[in-house]
A and B are shown apart, each in its own frame.
With several copies, the nearest count.
Chain A
Amino acid sequence: MTDLKKLHQAILDGNAKASAEETAHALVAGVDPMTIIEGTMIPAMDEVGRLFECQDYFVPELLLSGRAMKAAMQLLRPLLAKSGAQPVGRVVIGTVKGDLHDIGKNLVASMLEGGGFDVTDLGTDVSPDRFVAAIGEKNADIVCLSALLTVTMPAMKTTIEALERAGVRNKVRVLIGGAPVTLQYAREIGADGYGENANAAVALARELGKGTLRP
């Protein structure tokens, strides 16, 4: 059990190397993979989330803990039954056509991943067609559009129209965000939700997953 405390700490510290090592030790010592995950790793990530929420941790710490968690999972995944944990949902995310701002979008993507979503990041300057294609390929539930320029905001509308034309609009929930975007705008273009920041994005994606829409 002492070893698992070290794993806990390694995740909190965002130390991927130590995290993998401690996981390996535990496995060698015969600890059940599900015990490692549920007894140690998930509580550790919950703790990280809490520290971030109360603004004790910053994003770098959050991301590094995420990496440490991933490093451990890499060892555990092959040992878990195929029927194991399903992702909470499948998300396709990108910055719309004409826009290269991606820092906010990347944060949203990371947080969604941290929140258990399976995230496909299409990058920046993504055309409506590429969104349509990716939804098909990835069988996505949620599409996240980001825009930081007032002159690329209209591309959000164009993208939603393309989803309609392609007949996939009602298969997905569309979530939008970025500094100039507002709830009013989301309503105007018929998006399903608007998130003010990355935390809101995760909460919202969860809500949408449950089929409950924002007003």
Chain B
Amino acid sequence: MSLAIGSLSEFLFGHAPRPVSCGRGLELGKGTVIPEINFTLPAMDIDEATWPEVRRLYAEMIEGVCKRAAELEAPGLLVEFETLPAMTIRPEWGREIVEILATCLHGYYEKHGLKNALRVTPNDTRDFLSPSHMRDGQYWEAMAQLFEMSAAAGADLLSIESTGGKEVCDEALRFGDLRQTIFGLAILGARDMEFLWKHLVGVCSKANIVPAGDSACAFGNTAMVLADQKFIPRVLAAVIRVASVPRSLVAYRMGAAGPSKDCAYEGPYLKAIAGVPISMEGRSSACAHLTHVGNIAQAVCDAWSNESVQQVRLLSAYAPIVSLEQLVYDCRLMNTAAAGSREDAIRLRDWLVESDAALDPQAWVLRPDVVLRIAERIATEPTPYLQTRVAARCAIEEIASAHREGRLRVSPQEIRWIAKIEREVAQLPGQESEFIDEMLATPVAEKFLPGEYGIESVASR
């Protein structure tokens, strides 16, 4: 498999080899960066009693952001609705909100010509059971139903932040155990993605809407947040980010088209390999996650997002409107630079990159040149496991050499972790089946049901 993006000079914001058209006149990756806004409820219960208020709040939020987007003449607007657990467990509720949002978006397209689309992202509730049931049971049923209902109620794109493999990764992250993390990502996660995205692509093609993408948020972003709190080393979080790429790639292999999820900071890799447009977030989503990749995350985005913000009142307006305004101005800057020339777009991209890259390994692995080098290696491997193994190895190599050359600063406490990670990566078996057998023999095996990932067969081999 060769990369969709052949050279650094083609690796730009706003341009993707495989653009996506969706919703009402919205185009991603065709030259213009679009703001993607996401919003959520303030602190409150969701139940029968509060449901009318929940509906009112979503109506208020969507009206607020659409109105401001029109006033600021946004080049388009992607709206993401991430459901909250109660709305997935009771999919009729989720559907009601989808309808409210879609109605408003249609109105703004017709009355104000605001190009737009609605991405619906049911939250993955399968881990409400422990150990999780990934392919049956009440949670899966309700979630699957919500996908269909959303498609019927006005969703233009479907996404999910799926959690397959999280059962083992959560503990692994706490113990800084890269091997176990890779097992969760590359063995369990990748298998679940295959199952899930086959299903999702089916739902979308029936409804003629866009299967967008998934996010390794439960892995990469958990690591990022832990690193930011100084609980785990940043070099580890950086390696885990890159190691999450093959898992997220599975969605595109199964037919997803993008734009990827904003919180999938692995996005640049997905764009390089699969050519899909990507949604990214950075300083724009400080309302949701503090970050050390605030600028570099923007460098090659096609949609630019705030991740998620609550409907709380700020001095000027509600927080979602404030986020929307900031996104629109960021997009204006990118689109203005790009309107000059390709060289200008590259210049802005490179400033975004250089302003962060040297300060944190998590930023370093998002450098477009680093991305292309590692992506190329990933693309040559045949399976998610082998791809993940090489991704982790390349990531730590890139970090180690940049550090040696004085181009990347690694804090003194983290230096010993470089060697530790190199060792762990070197010890990963060359055979997937060997790795699985080995892990199934450890207490890790108690954390999940192999059958839910379709791996009994391998284990009983």
Contact = CB atoms under 8 A, between A and B. Distances in A.
Asked whether the complex places CB atoms of A and B closer than 8 A, the reply is yes
Interface of A: 55-61, 63-64, 98-100, 102-103, 106-107, 110, 123-125, 149-151, 153-155, 179-180, 182, 185, 197
A200 to B, nearest CB: 12
A161 to B, nearest CB: 13
B130 A59 contact: no
A179 B288 CA distance: 10
A180 B315 contact: yes
A58 B310 contact: no
Given A150-B315, A151-B86, A107 B231 contact: yes
A98 B127 CA distance: 11
Given A55-B413, A58-B230, A123 B130 contact: yes
Interface in B273-321: 310, 313, 315-316
Contact of B175 (A64, A124, A151, A182): A64
Nearest to A60: B176
B19 interface: no
Q: How large is the interface on B (under 10, 10 to 19, 20 to 34, 35 or more residues)?
A: 20 to 34
B22 interface: no
Contact of A149 (B84, B127, B173): B84
Interface in B1-59: 40-46
Q: Which 10 pairs of residues, A with B, have the shortest CB-CB distance?
A: A60-B176, A59-B231, A150-B43, A154-B45, A153-B43, A60-B175, A56-B413, A151-B84, A58-B232, A151-B46
Nearest to B411: A55
B211 interface: no
22 contacts: A58-B230, A58-B231, A58-B232, A58-B413, A59-B174, A59-B176, A60-B177, A64-B175, A103-B173, A123-B130, A150-B42, A150-B43, A150-B44, A150-B310, A151-B43, A151-B44, A151-B45, A151-B84, A151-B85, A154-B43, A154-B45, A179-B315
B351 interface: no
B226 A103 contact: yes
A84 B136 CA distance: 50
Contacts of A155: 45
Contact of B85 (A98, A107, A110, A185): A98
A110 B413 CA distance: 22
Nearest to A147: B43
A184 to B, nearest CB: 8
A107 B229 CA distance: 12
A61 B416 CA distance: 12
A191 to B, nearest CB: 14
A59 B174 CA distance: 7
A180 B313 contact: yes
B268 interface: no
B222 A60 contact: no
Nearest to B127: A100
A58 B176 contact: yes
Contacts of A151: 41, 43-46, 84-86
B128 interface: yes
Nearest to A61: B176
B361 interface: no
A215 B187 CA distance: 49
B170 interface: yes
Interface string B207-245: 000000000000000100010011111000000000000
A55 B230 contact: yes
A93 to B, nearest CB: 15
A23 to B, nearest CB: 22
B227 to A, nearest CB: 9
Contacts of A180: 43, 313, 315
Contact of A103 (B128, B130, B170): B170
A197 B230 CA distance: 11
B230 A125 contact: no
